[in-house]
Amino acid sequence: MTNKEYQEMVEKKFKKKLREVMHDLCVKRSVVAYEGAEILGVPKKTFEAWRTRYRFGPLQLQADYAEKQSKEQIEAYSEELKDVDILRSFQLQDETSLAGFQEVLLRYLELYKAKRITVDSGSTEEMLLMMRIRIFEEILQLLDSYLQGEHHDKFMRAANFLLMKMNRSN
């Protein structure tokens, strides 16, 4: 049978367009090529060709998802920074305090987000910026927690949990 004949057979059997059938199998049910070919009654190579055509292969789905996430993140950063003047003066420039440190961290975070908007997707620079952004967000969360007096309690809970876990494994 030809590819076209297989397609007509599958569409007739499932009463749906081939794309919908493939979406159900590959995305919703996550079947492997052998299983999908068996369900459809087509050769494995035909199933794989259709899966590739509609970008429903596991790697294609991951790549498409990553690209979508990247675009959404860039849009969010653009929206967040649209009214921000990156070159504005520091309010606590002459201070060596936690508040001054926090201001510097926030400004670096803005700078890295602005850079992230301009770099090519999938580049090494993009990955480095994403890591820096995440690190600075985490540092700022720790600093906020510390300034609110919560950090000591969080640390003690985490340390006690670790000791409890270590004692169980011994």
Residues 77 and 129 sit within 8 Å (Cβ to Cβ): no
Rounded distance between C-alpha atoms, residue 155 and residue 139, angstroms: 15
Q: How far is CA 45 from CA 33, 37, 51, 92, in A?
A: 8, 8, 10, 65
Instruction: Please give the model's pTM, rounded to 2 decimal places.
Output: 0.68
Domain boundaries, the chain: 3-56, 69-169
* CB within 8 Å of 15: residues ≥ 6 apart: none
Long-range contacts of 118-126 (CB under 8 A, 24+ apart): 121/67, 121/70, 121/71, 126/70
* pLDDT tens digits, one per residue of 129-167: 999 999 999 999 999 988 888 888 888 999 999 999 999
* pLDDT tens digits, one per residue of 59-87: 898 888 988 999 999 999 999 999 999 99
